[in-house]
Structure 1
Amino acid sequence: MANQQHKIGSGFGAQSTAAEVLAGIDLSGRLAVVTGGYSGLGLETTRALAAAGAQVVVPARRREVADEAVAGIGGVEVDELDLADQRSVAAFADRFLAAGRPVHLMIDNAGIMAAPEMRVGPGWEGQFAVNHLGHYALVNRLWPAIKEGRGRVVSVSSRGHQLSGIRWDDVHFERGYDKWQAYGQAKTANVLFALHLDALAQGTGVRAFSLHPGTIRTALGRHMSDDELAGLSTRIDEGASGSNWKTPEQGAATQVWAATSPQLDGMGGLYCEDCDIAEPAAPGTVLGPGVNAWATDPQEAARLWRLSADLTGVDAFAA
């Protein structure tokens, strides 16, 4: 994997849209599951995949809001799912598996950012629980359908992963909470999850990728104060993060590209940005281009998988 973590010259870039990366790709007969597929980047992802012929399942915590958001988009269905509630994850997976349908594209798009301190389930830190553990359990529970579909799993991370690696001595921030460190840890977990899932799935036909979608004004920043949003906007506009603002259509492009592009055939476990494979980040990079070394370490990925299995009680690959 490490030797493949370099740009391939996809022909697309930061300004490419989801529709553009899907041009000429027919997804008829393919089924996609897009968490959070009813707002922001998720909604644009749902629109693009459906326009290309895919049947799209949108698991949603706010079902009525989701129904209204996707109304009029053909080939889309909504079901209930709360990633913060492991019982809800299990119930959704049971319903889905009972229908006997394969999953060809699994896009773990939903998430929260810089949220106030909250405890989930048995006391898990909220951002780690929602952004990582919820998706970890969902993919593992849906594994029979994903394996049958022999497609791709896409884990939506961000440059926020550069804010923190996994805090092994205090994963749940029991010794003082920092919302940005918690967000960074959760986003690192998203990258490590895809890395180890891809390693475990070798030989099944399933490949996994993670990505930074770009910087986009969406409801993801709802937990930030006006001052925080203004400061972040200034930093981005000044180029300190190495990124310009994207539209939602541009922001959805990288996850759609990672899920469908034939350019990635035979590859996996890689972190992408701007519709291409990302380069390794320079040491000390914070909110800049590339992927940090702590998020591409196979040993860290395997350790996180073991922790996640212990916490959730779910592991589709257990002996």
Structure 2
Amino acid sequence: MTFDATTTAADVLAGVDLTGRTAIVTGAASGIGRVSAAALARAGATVVAGVRDPAAFDLPGVEARRLDLADLAQVAAFAATVGRADILINNAGVMACPETRVGPGRELQFAVNHLGHFALTAALWPALRSGTDAVVVAVSSNVRPDAPIRWDDPYFTAGPYDRWAAYAQSKAANALFAAHLDVLGRPYGIRAASVHPGAMLTPLQRHLTRDEMVAAGWIDADGRPAEYFKTVEQGAATQLWAAVTPSVAGVHCADCAVTPFRPDPADAARLWDLSARLTGLPDTLPAPAR
């Protein structure tokens, strides 16, 4: 089957047997995270959903555990409950929110979209090592080669806050993170890729007004999405495709295909070091036990 922008989660996993494999999906309470978790469970995987409110989560075949990516102590506590991970889909995210600070003054979008997932992946490293041909998928966006990282002011403390610039930085960070993680993990059989799921209407737009979305051309005056918008089933397809396609590693993907975008390796390594300093975590991942 040829996959493209119209491919759905069900299409990607048709005939795929994930029995015996464990998948972790963050942000699985709604949107493409929920679709991904459900599709992985139907394919036979043991699926753990990282959500902020497990009591409100109800998805057959999927176990929910509390995960607040803005709280690094809670991230560590979640990871401590996971003994094995074959698939990690870092899907959770926040977009274009008002200026919000968490922890020791971290800007929310960078904290949740990037730093929380950075810390989660590091904490899950033993579980990923215990997996078989483990893969980490970072859900990024339509990043550009020149997408900026504010190396000296990642939290937007030195000037006016720009919610869209903050979002763009966090999504660029997702792609850079996956690129360097693939370099670090490849000697141990752990691979990583970043994906752009495409445009769709989900709770990710909760911080945007209807008028803003109409002005952006995302919806019309009656609330109908633009023609290029995907369904949520289509939006979940690329991250699942990256998770189950062994040849996809160290690349950025969209529409169930590899894109020409390649993060700068030097920037990817630099961001890894910066992220370690900002989270207080080691800047290296331990080698597998002999």
- With structure 1 as the length reference, what TM-score do the two structures score? 0.83
Q: Kindly provide the amino acid, as one letter, of the partner of residue 204 in structure 1.
A: Y
The one of 275, 290, 305 aligned to 2:256: 275
Residue 310 of structure 1 is matched in structure 2 by 277
Q: Kindly provide the amino acid, as one letter, of the partner of residue 285 in structure 2.
A: F
Matched, 1:42 2:33: yes
Deviation at 1:231, TM superposition (A): 2.0
Matched, 1:147 2:120: no
Residue 21 of structure 2 is matched in structure 1 by 30
The one of 66, 69, 72 aligned to 1:86: 72
Residue 231 of structure 2 is matched in structure 1 by 247
Residue 81 of structure 2 is matched in structure 1 by 95
Task: Spell out, residue by residue over 1:61-111, the C-alpha distance to the aligned partner (whole angstroms, 9 max, x if none).
Answer: 122222x3x1xx22x101111000011101111222xxxx31000000000
Residue 201 of structure 2 is matched in structure 1 by 217
Matched, 1:189 2:170: no
Give SS of 2:81's match: helix
Give SS of 1:215's match: coil
The one of 30, 51, 54 aligned to 2:45: 54
Instruction: Check conservation: 2:182, 2:192, Cα contact below 8 A.
Output: yes
Task: Tell me, in whole angstroms, the C-alpha distance in 2 between the residues paired with 1:166 and 1:40.
Answer: 27
Instruction: Check conservation: 1:215, 1:243, Cα contact below 8 A.
Output: no
**Which runs of 5 or more structure 2 residues have no equivalent in the other structure?**
221-225
Residue 285 of structure 1 is matched in structure 2 by none
Deviation at 1:164, TM superposition (A): 3.7
Instruction: Check conservation: 2:94, 2:112, Cα contact below 8 A.
Output: yes
- Greater share of helix: 1
Task: Tell me, in whole angstroms, the C-alpha distance in 1 between the residues paired with 2:219 and 2:63.
Answer: 39
Q: Kindly provide the amino acid, as one letter, of the partner of residue 159 in structure 1.
A: N
Give SS of 1:202's match: helix
Give SS of 1:172's match: coil
Matched, 1:300 2:282: no
Give SS of 1:77's match: strand
Deviation at 1:233, TM superposition (A): 3.1
Instruction: Check conservation: 2:125, 2:285, Cα contact below 8 A.
Output: no
Task: Tell me, in whole angstroms, the C-alpha distance in 2 between the residues paired with 1:176 and 1:51.
Answer: 46
Task: Tell me, in whole angstroms, the C-alpha distance in 2 between the residues paired with 1:135 and 1:112.
Answer: 13
Q: Aligned in 2, Cα 1:55/1:161: closer, same or farther, shift over 3 Å?
A: farther
Residue 167 of structure 1 is matched in structure 2 by 150
Q: Kindly provide the amino acid, as one letter, of the partner of residue 240 in structure 2.
A: V
Greater shift, 123-132 or 156-165, is seen at: 156-165
Q: Kindly provide the amino acid, as one letter, of the partner of residue 226 in structure 1.
A: R
Instruction: Check conservation: 1:33, 1:103, Cα contact below 8 A.
Output: yes
Greater shift, 222-231 or 11-20, is seen at: 222-231
Q: Aligned in 2, Cα 1:79/1:152: closer, same or farther, shift over 3 Å?
A: same
Task: Tell me, in whole angstroms, the C-alpha distance in 1 between the residues paired with 2:4 and 2:210.
Answer: 30
Give SS of 2:5's match: coil
Residue 13 of structure 1 is matched in structure 2 by 4
Give SS of 2:88's match: strand
Task: Tell me, in whole angstroms, the C-alpha distance in 2 between the residues paired with 1:163 and 1:225.
Answer: 28
Query: What RMSD over aligned residues (CA atoms) do the two structures have, in Å?
Result: 2.0
Task: Tell me, in whole angstroms, the C-alpha distance in 2 between the residues paired with 1:113 and 1:162.
Answer: 20
Matched, 1:110 2:92: yes
Percent pairwise identity: 51
Give SS of 1:233's match: coil
Task: Spell out, residue by residue over 1:126-157, the C-alpha distance to the aligned partner (whole angstroms, 9 max, x if none).
Answer: 10000000000000001001112131000000
Report the count of equivalent residues: 279
Task: Tell me, in whole angstroms, the C-alpha distance in 1 between the residues paired with 2:89 and 2:8.
Answer: 17
